[in-house]
Amino acid sequence: MMGNAMQYLMDISFSEVVNRVFWFFGAILAVWFVNIVINHPSAVMLGIKNLWLHPMRSILTVLGIFVGVASVIWLLAISKGIGDEVQRQIENLGADTIMIRTVKPPSEKLSSQGLTPYGLTREEYDMLSATVPTIRSAIPIREMRRQFQFKDRKLDGRLVGCTPEYAEVTKLEIDRGHFITDAENFSRDSHCVLSAKVAEKLFPYEDPIGQRIYMPENQDFYLIVGVLKPKGATAAVGGSMAAQDFSNDVYIPIRTLQQRIGDTIMTMRSGSREGEIIELNQITLRCRDVNDVKKTAELVSTALSSHEKMEDISVVVPLELLEQAKTTKYMFMVLAAMIASISLLVGGIGIMNIMLATVTERTREIGIRRALGAKRRDIIRQFLVETSVLSLTGGITGILFGLLCGPAVSAARSLANSWFEKQMMDLPAVVRTVEPSIVPESITGAFLISLAVGLIFGIYPAIRAAKMSPIEALRHE
Amino acid sequence: MSFSDFSTEGFACRVVDLKKEFVLKSETVRALRGVTFDVPTGDYVAIMGPSGSGKSTLLNLLGCLDQPTSGSLWLGDDDVAKMTDDQLADIRSRRIGFVFQAYNLIQQLTVVENIQVPLFYQGKPLSREQHQRCLDLANMVGLGERLDHRPTQLSGGQQQRVAIARSLINDPFFILADEPTGNLDSRTTEEILQLFERLNNEGRTIILVTHEDEVSKRAKRVIRLKDGRLQWDRTNSQEVRDEAARYAIENMPVEV
């Protein structure tokens, strides 16, 4: 039910509906206000003059609207920024791909004696690539933590064994040299490709192409044949929450990895030996058509159902993630807008409060004006102009401040990075890297809402002022 | 009114059998029980009466601030007794000049802006002639040098003179003054009364509500109300008026 509603909001473009409603009321409000400015400029001047009699009071009232408008713009911009970032990361995985990941099974499923092999096998890879009709290509991937060394420079990173298609699927771009070729894979060459950061760290002065890096764990040398361009993180896949970070990667042909390192990896950890036997960490399937993705994913899950018992694989479909992320983004933005609206509401109540006080304070003035010929609507107009001036000032300054969202967030981030470096590193990458993206509707919306808040919360005090009998008002001390 | 000989020509206002009742929770208060009188153009009328006589009610009705229960009030060719709130406001801004006991100037406006207020509500932007008229009126009441002063910077007499200038800006049918000297000392009272006399001599109609005999004796005519009815309506002879003026001047406290 809830899902359907969200789907509906997404599909008929939620923003379009909001836009239409805004423009409808906005047009009415704008016509009213422009009419007053053109036909009663003296009323506007008078309003400003009256507000200026209590500068502190007026500024504080304006501040309420200012905060409301700015927070609408900020919260929407930040939540959209986060949503866009997540969406971009998922899109980077490729909407036409299906990823089957090996995950470490729960400890009770592993035998306590010796090492149990788990995860995807090369046999399954061959089976999938040979039998699933809708796929264009299948890429086997093996990953492990390794130390890389050149001369005395060392770097901990990730060694990835893969095939040439890997570059295309994960959108890796080659800077110099070339990515791993089929020939290198076939002949199990000890060649490698470095990511931009690894190249920069290990070869700050030299040209990496043609050099060899050393992996101490396997006492092996690999000839560098290519260097990649820098690349951002993509969304997390598999069990870990962390986004996939490609910055510390070194790529070698998967057949080379299989021959040189093998399936069994032993590591020394706090005195005891730990190990794992895994043939493949991941198989990435690319479908011929995006529309085939869901069917193919089902087929693959069925084909690999023997893993259900061990719980040692997970199937990740970025397309589904993308849809979820879009829904989440909209929910997030709606939530943000609601929270921000509360502050606008509070600002509106502030206006109403101050206008009620003003009406009481100026009862006598109202009486004088009525005696001298002011009609009820003149009095209403006078008070509405004052509330409009308050709320418009708050609205315009709030929008200006709202537009500073981007620079302000990056300034705040660089401050936080220098003061709380460690805490910042613990935050999810999405939060660390978010770039607020201002929603254009939020500006028109916030502006119109601020005007509307001024009018809605101003109308009651104004009517109260106009309803007073001039005789009573004149008698008021 | 439908008699054929009823004319409003030459009258600032005509009051015909004016009644006003206030319905309170338990009882109906009959504040005015049928009052009839005319004010010819150029007249200077003082309305007197003890509290509870209906004086304030009559004042509010004459000032078009309230509507009568029955009867007619003719201002020019219009019976304002039958008008809506908006129409009354329009009448107030065009045909009536108010002067109050408490001056009732708007605190945040300057002298010249206060004088302009009734024009502001006539719905048209101020013309050059109207602006000049404001300055002329300010000069006439002796405040030509203080156009940019605020009410708080003026004495009571000066404030009342601004109010009188304001009451004249719309060239009203009559000036309606409610205890205009009630807050003033005898010297300033004399100033204001002389100003009224001058205006009356220039042809202005003045209706003045007061409870002071000395003030009422300066008017051409005195109407006395009692228990919501007209008690008497008499004309002050020129001798009475001159005598009252002389008495006021002779008994003025000596400036030390």
Contact, A372 vs B92, CB < 8 A?
yes
Q: Which of A50, A361, A372 to mutate to test the interface with B (most CBs of B within 10 A)?
A: A372
How many angstroms separate the CA of residue B10 from the nearest CA in chain A? 24
Cite the DSSP H helix spans in chain B: 55-62, 85-95, 111-120, 128-140, 156-168, 186-201, 213-216, 238-250
DSSP B242: H
Q: If we measure between CA atoms, which residue out of B214, B201, B210 comes closest to residue B44?
A: B201
Chain A contacts of B89, Cβ < 8 Å? Answer: 370, 373-376, 378
b (16+ CB within 10 A) / e for A299-319: bbbeebeebeeeebbebbbbb
Same domain, A144 and A278: yes
Question: Which residues lie below 8 Å from residue A183, measured CB to CB, with a gap of 6+?
Answer: A189
Q: Report how far apart the first and last C-alpha atoms of chain B are (Å, whole number).
A: 58
Whether residues A199 and A164 share a domain: the answer is yes
Minimal Cα distance from A50: which residue of B?
B108
How many residues can be counted in chain B? 256
A401 and A415 assigned to the same domain:
yes
The whole-number pLDDT of residue A240 equals 42
A355-373 CB burial, b ≥16 within 10 A, e <16: beebbeebbbbbbbbbbbb
Asked whether residue B130 is assigned to any structural domain, the reply reads: no
Residues 6+ apart with CB under 8 A from A392: A33, A450, A451, A454
Residue that is last in its domain, among A288, A304, A332: A288
Q: How many CB atoms lie within 10 A of CB A236?
A: 20
Distance (Å, rounded) from C-alpha A408 to C-alpha A411?
5
Predicted pLDDT of residue A374:
92
Q: Domain for residue B114, yes or no? A: no
Q: What percent of chain B has pLDDT over 70?
A: 97
Instruction: For residue B113, tell me if it sits in a domain.
Output: no
pLDDT of residue A33: 78
Structural tokens at position A146: 């390794």
Q: How confident is the model at residue B25 (pLDDT cuts 50, 70, 90)?
A: confident
Task: Please tell me the distance from the alpha carbon of residue B206 to that of residue B62, in angstroms, as a whole number.
Answer: 12
Q: Rounded to whole angstroms, how far apart are CA atoms B251 and A312?
A: 115
By Cβ distance, the residue of A364, A373, A377 closest to B118 is A373
Whether the CB of A467 is below 8 Å from some CB of chain B: the reply is no
The stretch B136-163 carries a mean pLDDT of 92
Which of these, B148, B101, B8, B54, lies nearest to A371 by C-alpha position? B101
**Domain closes at, from A288, A315, A348:** A288
pTM, to two decimals: 0.71
In a domain, A124, yes or no: yes
Number of domains in chain B: 1
What pLDDT score was predicted for residue A270?
67
- For residues A438 and A395, membership in a common domain is answered with yes
Nearest to A386 by CA among A31, A67, A49, A35: A49
Residues 6+ apart with CB under 8 A from A79: A329, A332, A333, A335, A336
Does the residue A418 lie in any domain? yes
B186: domain CATH number?
A: 3.40.50.300
Report the domain count for chain A.
Answer: 2
The ipTM estimated for the assembled molecules is 0.92
User: Are A383 and A465 a contacting pair, CB within 8 Å?
Assistant: yes
Selection from A171, A229, A172, A226 nearest residue A197 by Cα: A229
What single string gives the DSSP state of each residue in B216-240? HTTSSEEEEEETTEEEEEEEPPHHH
- Does A423 fall in a domain? yes
Distance CA A300, CA A124 (A): 10
> Chain A 360-389, CB below 8 Å of chain B: which residues?
364-365, 367-378
Closest by Cβ to B108, choosing from A50, A372, A471: A50
**Backbone angles phi and psi of B177, in degrees to 5:** -110, 120
Strand A272-278 versus strand A117-118 pairing type: parallel
Question: By residue range, what is the domain housing residue B240?
Answer: 11-104+174-250
Identify which of A53, A365, A373 has the shortest CB distance to residue B93.
A373
Write down which residue in A288, A305, A335 finishes a domain: A288
Q: Are residues A144 and A62 in the same domain?
A: no
Q: What is the DSSP string of A95-163?
A: TTEEEEEE-PPPGGGS-SSS--EESB-HHHHHHHHHH-TTEEEEEEEEEEEEEEEETTEEEEEEEEEE-
Q: Are A461 and A358 in contact (CB under 8 A)?
A: yes
The answer for A249, left when phi > 0, alpha when psi is -120 to 50, beta otherwise, is: beta
Specify whether A413 is located in the same domain as A460: yes
Give me the residues of chain A with pLDDT under 70, please.
1-15, 18-19, 111-113, 232-244, 268-271, 429-430
Lowest mean pLDDT of A271-275, B133-137, B144-148, name the range: A271-275
Q: Which residues pair with A99 in a beta bridge?
A: A284, A316
| B167 domain-assigned | no
A455 and A434 within one domain: yes
Considering chain B, what percentage of its residues have pLDDT values greater than 90? 60
C-alpha distance from residue A126 to each of A132, A140, A248, A295, A313 (Å): 10, 9, 29, 20, 17
Q: Are A80 and A439 in contact (CB under 8 A)?
A: yes
For A45, the domain range is 2-92+324-475
Distance, in angstroms, between A387 CA and closest chain B CA? 18
Mean pLDDT, chain B, integer: 89
State whether A73 and A116 are in the same domain.
no
pLDDT over 80 at B118, yes or no = yes
Residue with tokens 């050059």: B128
User: What are the strands of the beta sheet with A117-118, ordered from one edge?
Assistant: A117-118, A272-278, A264-269
Q: What is the mean pLDDT of chain A?
A: 84
Same structural domain for residues A77 and A133? no
Residue A448, min C-alpha distance to chain B (Å): 29
Q: How many CB atoms lie within 10 A of CB A411?
A: 11
Note whether residue B36 is domain-resident. yes
Contacts of A290-294 with C-beta under 8 Å, sequence gap 24+, read A290/A95, A290/A96, A290/A319, A292/A134, A293/A95, A293/A96, A293/A97, A293/A98, A293/A317, A293/A319, A294/A319, A294/A320
Q: What is the pLDDT of residue B168?
A: 92
Does residue B16 fall inside a structural domain? Answer: yes
Distance from CA of A392 to the nearest CA of B (A): 23
Nearest to B209 by CA among B20, B11, B47: B47
Q: How many CA atoms lie within 13 A of B93 on its CB side?
A: 20
- List, for residues B207-232, the tens digit of each pLDDT value: 999 988 889 999 999 999 999 999 99
The pLDDT score that the predictor gives to residue B162 is 94
- Indicate yes or no: CB of B86 within 8 angstroms of CB of A378: no
Same structural domain, A274 and A385: no
Tokens of A52: 């200026």
Band the pLDDT of B169: cuts 50, 70, 90. Answer: very high
**A104/A186 same-domain check:** yes
Are A372 and B108 an interchain contact pair (Cβ–Cβ within 8 Å)?
Answer: no
